[in-house]
Structure 1
Amino acid sequence: MADNETGIANPASGNGKGTTSAARNRGASRRGAQTSGASEAALKRQIAELKREVNRLNRMLSDQVEEAAEAGHGWFQSATDRASDLYSGASDRASRATRQLRSQAHSVSETVQQNPGTISTAVAIGGLFGVLIGLAIARGSQPEPDWFHRWHR
């Protein structure tokens, strides 16, 4: 019996010598439960940190998108202002050119009405010069035909 007492602990004595495997398993399972509880808590903390980081990144992204939208709106407004200024300037120049052409056409028509003979003579002489210049250009650019050389030999 002496061997039996040294190998197995007496539950009443509580001295802890030679604990049974069941007691060891209970202690290990408590430590495992504490360890798993600690790791669960650590995972929960990491998940909470990740959620805060994602929220912070979402806020940063939202701010950057808002800034980009404001910059785009400013650029668009600037471009429309410049286009409006260019259109206004072009419109003013076209209006002045139209007025000037109208006044010149009016003065030419008055001159024609006051001097019909002079204008018709000038147009006829201009047409005649145009025909002569056209003939000279056409004759200079074409070689003389072969039949013309046969008769002059």
Structure 2
Amino acid sequence: MADTSKSDAPDIDDIRKTLEKQIAELRKEITKINKSISARGAEMLDDASEQASDFYETAAARASRTAQQLRSQAHAVSEVARENPGTTTAVVVVIGLLGFLAGLAIGQSMNDTHRRWY
């Protein structure tokens, strides 16, 4: 019986050593995987940052061009208004009158229909 327990002991030690070696290898693999995931995440973050920067630069350039065009058109309109004050006044009066009439029409249409005819 003593021989059987002695022969089992080396097998358990061998198994333990094998398992410890496999665990150490698995830890190394997990470390490699974590580094790989971290590197990939950093690459994705850099790509997203570049795309956002490109989008911002494009939008800023378009906004600048649009603002410049609006300034140019506003300047042209103000020049025409300065050169033709009578026409400008007439246009403003007509627009104001049309707005007033539209307000009256909307106000009348929103009133109670029975009260309109009395």
Q: Which residue of 2 aligns with 1:120?
A: 89
1:58 aligns with 2:31: no
**How far apart, in 1, do the equivalents of 2:46 and 2:101 lie?**
60
Q: Gapped runs of 5+ residues in structure 2? A: none
How does the TM-score come out when normalised to structure 1? 0.70
Q: Which of 67, 70, 74 is the matching residue for 1:101?
A: 70
Aligned CA RMSD, in angstroms, stands at: 1.8
Give CA deviations for 1:28-59 in whole Å, capped at 9, x if unaligned: xxx51x33322221111111001111011111
Please say which structure displays the higher CA radius of gyration. Answer: 1
Q: Which of 46, 54, 57 is the matching residue for 1:85?
A: 54
Aligned residues: 117
**Structure 1 SS opposite 2:108:** helix
How does the TM-score come out when normalised to structure 2? 0.88
Q: Which runs of 4+ in 1 moved over 6 A?
A: none
AA aligned opposite 2:6: G
Change in CA separation of 1:56 and 1:92 when aligned onto 2, cut-off 3 Å: same
Q: Which residue of 2 aligns with 1:39?
A: 8
Identical columns (%): 33
Pick the structure with more helix per residue: 2
AA aligned opposite 2:90: T
1:132 aligns with 2:109: no
Q: Gapped runs of 5+ residues in structure 1? A: 1-30, 149-153
In the TM superposition, residue 146 of structure 1 has moved relative to its aligned partner by 7.8
